[in-house]
Amino acid sequence: MLREDTGNDLLLRVEGLKTYFFQRNAVLKAVDGVSFSVAQGEAVGLVGESGSGKTMTCLSLMRLVPQPGARIVEGEIWFKGDNLLDLTEHEMRAYRGHRMAIVMQDPQTSLNPVYTVGEQVAEPVRLHLKERGQQAIARVLDSLRAVRIPRPELRLGQYPHQFSGGMRQRVVAAMGLTTQPELLIADEPTTSLDVTIQAQFLRLIRDLQQDSGTSVIWVTHDLGIVAQMCDRVNVMYAGRIVESGRVRQIYKEPQHPYTRALLDSVPLMGARREKLYQIEGQPPDLRSIPQGCPFWPRCPEAMDKCKEQYPPRTSLGGEDFVHCWLTEEGR
Amino acid sequence: MVKYIGFRLFQALLGLWFIATLVFILSRSIGDPAEVFTARNSGVDAREIMAAKLGLDRPVHEQYLKFLGQLVRLDLGDSVSNGIPVTQILVERMPATFTLGLIALIFALVFSLPLGILGAVYRDTPVDWVAKVLAFLGQSMPPFWLGIMLIILFAVVWGLLPPAGKGEWHSYILPGFTLGWGVMAGMVRLVRSSMLDVLDSDYVAMARAKGLPEVVVIGKHALRNALLPVLTYSSLVLGAFMNGSVVVEQVFAWPGIGTSAVQSVVRRDFPVIQGVVIVFGSFFILINLFVDIMYAVIDPRIKYTQ
């Protein structure tokens, strides 16, 4: 929707990104040729089961893949006019925490236990905005207020263990948003929160996003969150994006059997179904990804062709696409 | 904080009292001291005179109260062998032992912290291998052997350093190194593994995601968390140096408490042994008290109130 309005106003364009883990006797292709883009002010979902490469994709965007072991081997990450993979480490640091920020999965562990909350939120302010003293404190207080933390003057001097899980995740969000980044990566930020806190947090981020025009990448396995928060969605399987489309379109007409299966396994309020649908089998082990389309062993509609060759990209109009022989053959 | 320190002080006093009582009971349960202190064939009279002199003819509870009363006034009795007050002997010898222990600990920390940190940050690179080999060497060389080897090399063969005794500053080098060496090795491994744990944590990833330079990520966010186990270990080591120093002090004829512990055992000088045990115990308790307070300073999660 936004995309058509804003035309070429792309913030982020990822092309053929490949991030591999190099082990003693194996190469694990955690991210294997991922391409997608994020327009300014847009919220894009990255959906898939655990181990599908979502988190590794996000870490690649910030060039923070685990060292030693993992390496970005190929691809381009265009952030406005710059390919992030061409920058020096020093130049890249000016992006992290300033133009792009991340909120991680577990608020219990993503704050340093031995520093006050105020100190941790102030770090990016001092580092990137070069503000010091009272000025920095004022900005930290504003950020804590923005994420609706009550009594921020008091909370400023407290340590993470004095906060509840939901409040901690707000602190992490404040830490990321205080420098007004252009891109916020939210890596399953609500998984460890209970449902009511989860809803509050989602609403909070959506409000902040609408106020500031920040683009957001939502990493999740919860299609409910995607429906609520995102404009577009990219479905990942075994390190690849298998389907990409506008959220409304994908919910209405999912093309890839995997997307369909994911949608079927979302519990619906008031649904008559006795038992929740479950995708058979396990996501593939990165050590032994099946030849052809990696989903075929679990696909109810697998054909011989699926076992031999990975399906090409089939455009579904606009920027929407799918990688599936069913769609490719059907036209 | 004040309440916390007060409570820990109370616990420390309780521990001291317990040690004193234990020493009192032990020294009376392993044989009659009066028997020990009198010549083998000196007869009943001599023994009774000695018992009276030591106060052993009084009822036990009276002896105990007197013992505690003297302890509070830091009076540990007189040495049986030369009549010098035990407190005086210990006070004279304590500085030598403490300085040596402190020098050894500082030596261990100065080398193990950078080596351990570098080993963790540059995992599986030559820096890490060097740290591992040093740790291995340190842990496999017993201090008495290392001390003798060092004396042979530096004092006998090259004549660079004094072989024994306490004198100028350079007389501290060999015993300090010998005492610190094995600890340094263990500490390298501890710093490395504790640093590796912390480097894997989400808050370190988060610090990087903020754009902080690696020096700040490691020096500020990782190190302070990695130091907690190192602090615990350092305290154990300081306590152990009181024992380890028995060996090293013997090798280097160091005029410390360790040497007098050995001498008093050889001479069956009971009051001195009692004094040494009480000093060792008190020192352990004081270190633990100090570490607990340091914990609360470094890690805000540790509750100040009980």
Distance CA B56, CA B78 (A): 15
Average pLDDT over chain B, rounded to an integer: 84
Residue A12 has pLDDT above 60, yes or no: yes
Helices B173-199, B223-251: axis angle to 10 degrees equals 160
The string over B259-268, giving b where at least 16 C-beta atoms fall within 10 Å of a residue's C-beta and e elsewhere, is bbbeebeeee
Quick one: tokens of B151?
């004396």
* Alpha-carbon distance B125 to nearest alpha carbon in chain A (angstroms): 11
Three-state secondary-structure class, residue A263: helix
CB contact under 8 A, B209 and A97: yes
State the pLDDT confidence band at B24, using cuts at 50, 70 and 90: confident
What burial class does residue A302 get, using C-beta atoms within 10 Å of its C-beta: 0-12 exposed, 13-18 middle, 19+ buried? middle
Distance CA B42, CA B48 (A): 11
Tokens 């009480």: give the residue.
B278
Q: What is the ipTM of this complex?
A: 0.86
With contact defined as beta carbons under 8 Å apart, do B220 and B198 qualify? no
User: Minimum mean pLDDT among A246-260, A292-306, B16-30, B232-246: which range?
Assistant: B232-246
CB contact under 8 A, B211 and A94: yes
| Residue extents of the structural domains in chain A | 2-109+183-197+209-313
CB contact under 8 A, A111 and B206: yes
Question: Would you state the pLDDT for residue A2?
Answer: 45
Question: Would you state the pLDDT for residue A4?
Answer: 47
| Residue extents of the structural domains in chain B | 2-72, 86-298
Tokens 């615990």: give the residue.
B232
What burial class does residue B124 get, using C-beta atoms within 10 Å of its C-beta: 0-12 exposed, 13-18 middle, 19+ buried? exposed
A157 in B contact zone (CB under 8 Å): no
pLDDT tens string A198-216: 888 888 888 888 888 899 9
Question: Would you state the pLDDT for residue A278?
Answer: 75
Region B152-175: mean pLDDT is 85
Question: Would you state the pLDDT for residue A270?
Answer: 61
Quick one: tokens of B38?
């009198």
The region that residue A220 occupies, defined by phi over 0 for left and psi between -120 and 50 for alpha, beta otherwise, is beta
The string over A6-36, giving b where at least 16 C-beta atoms fall within 10 Å of a residue's C-beta and e elsewhere, is eeeebbbbbeebbbbbeeeeeebbbbbebbb
Question: Would you state the pLDDT for residue A274?
Answer: 62
Tokens 């013997």: give the residue.
B250
Q: How many CB atoms lie within 10 A of CB A148?
A: 15
Question: Which residues in chain A are closer than 8 Å to B221, comparing Cβ atoms?
Answer: 112, 115
Residue A5 has pLDDT above 70, yes or no: no
Question: Is CATH 3.40.50.300 the classification given to domain A2-109+183-197+209-313?
Answer: yes
State the pLDDT confidence band at B246, using cuts at 50, 70 and 90: confident
CB-side exposure of B197: number of CA atoms within 13 Å? 11
pLDDT tens string A28-81: 899 999 999 999 999 999 998 888 889 999 999 999 998 778 999 999 999 988
CB contact under 8 A, B206 and A124: no
Of B124, B208, B301, the CB nearest to A64: B208
A123 in B contact zone (CB under 8 Å): yes
Segment 174-203 of chain A within 8 Å of chain B by CB: 175
- The 3-state secondary structure of chain B reads CHHHHHHHHHHHHHHHHHHHHHHHHHHHHCCCHHHHHCCCCCHHHHHHHHHHHHCCCCCHHHHHHHHHHHHHCCCCCECCCCCCEHHHHHHHHHHHHHHHHHHHHHHHHHHHHHHHHHHHHCCCCHHHHHHHHHHHHHHHCCHHHHHHHHHHHHHHHCCCCCCCCCCCHHHHHHHHHHHHHHHHHHHHHHHHHHHHHHHCCHHHHHHHHCCCCHHHHHHHHHHHHHHHHHHHHHHHHHHHHHHHHHHHHHHCCCCCHHHHHHHHHHCCCHHHHHHHHHHHHHHHHHHHHHHHHHHHHHCCCCCCCC
Fold of the domain spanning B86-298: MetI-like fold (1.10.3720)
H/E run at residue A260: helix A257-264
Q: How many CB atoms lie within 10 A of CB A98?
A: 18
Angle made by CA atoms A105, B225, B239, in degrees to the nearest 5: 150
* Alpha-carbon distance B188 to nearest alpha carbon in chain A (angstroms): 21
Region A5-31: mean pLDDT is 84
Residue B244 has pLDDT above 80, yes or no: no
Question: Would you state the pLDDT for residue A6?
Answer: 45
Residue B9 has pLDDT above 50, yes or no: yes
Closest among B15, B54, B20 to B34, alpha carbons compared: B54
Question: Would you state the pLDDT for residue B213?
Answer: 93
H/E run at residue A245: strand A240-246
With contact defined as beta carbons under 8 Å apart, do B3 and B304 qualify? yes
Question: Which residues in chain A are closer than 8 Å to B205, comparing Cβ atoms?
Answer: 64, 104, 110
* Alpha-carbon distance A250 to nearest alpha carbon in chain B (angstroms): 32
Of A93, A98, A112, the CB nearest to B221: A112
Question: Would you state the pLDDT for residue A268?
Answer: 64
Percent with pLDDT over 90 in chain A: 43
Question: Would you state the pLDDT for residue B218?
Answer: 93
> Could you tell me which chain B residue has the CA closest to the CA of A111?
B203
Distance CA A122, CA A140 (A): 6
Strand order in the sheet with A82-83: A26-39, A10-23, A70-79, A82-83
State the pLDDT confidence band at B131, using cuts at 50, 70 and 90: confident
Question: Would you state the pLDDT for residue A182?
Answer: 93
Distance CA B131, CA B115 (A): 6
Average pLDDT over chain A, rounded to an integer: 87
Quick one: tokens of A28?
């694990």
Residue B305 has pLDDT above 70, yes or no: no
Question: Would you state the pLDDT for residue B53?
Answer: 74
The whole model's pTM is what? 0.79
pLDDT tens string B57-107: 788 888 888 888 888 888 888 887 788 898 898 888 888 888 888 899 999
Rg for chain A, CA atoms, rounded: 21
B221 in A contact zone (CB under 8 Å): yes
**Inter-chain CB pairs, A–B, below 8 Å:** 70
Distance CA A254, CA B265 (A): 87
H/E run at residue A158: none
Question: Would you state the pLDDT for residue B6?
Answer: 85
- The 3-state secondary structure of A105-150 reads CCCCCCCCCCCCHHHHHHHHHHHHCCCCHHHHHHHHHHHHHHCCCC
With contact defined as beta carbons under 8 Å apart, do A15 and A65 qualify? no
pLDDT tens string B260-300: 888 888 887 878 888 888 888 888 888 888 888 888 777 77
- DSSP class per residue in A18-61: EEEEEETTEEEEEEEEEEEEEETT-EEEEE--TTSSHHHHHHHH
Distance CA B76, CA B54 (A): 12
Q: List Cα–Cα distances, A238 to A208, A241, A287, in angstroms.
A: 32, 8, 11
Most A CBs within 10 Å: which of B122, B125, B127, B206, as the mutation test of the A interface? B206
H/E run at residue A6: helix A2-6
Quick one: tokens of B227?
């130091």
Quick one: tokens of B41?
């064939």
Q: List Cα–Cα distances, A89 to A66, A85, A96, A293, in angstroms.
A: 15, 9, 11, 36
Question: Which residues in chain B are closer than 8 Å to A115, comparing Cβ atoms?
Answer: 221
Distance CA B271, CA A25 (A): 67
Of A98, A110, A161, the CB nearest to B202: A110
Dmax over CA atoms of chain A, in Å, equals 68
State the pLDDT confidence band at B192, using cuts at 50, 70 and 90: very high
Question: Which residues in chain B are closer than 8 Å to A110, comparing Cβ atoms?
Answer: 202-203, 205-206
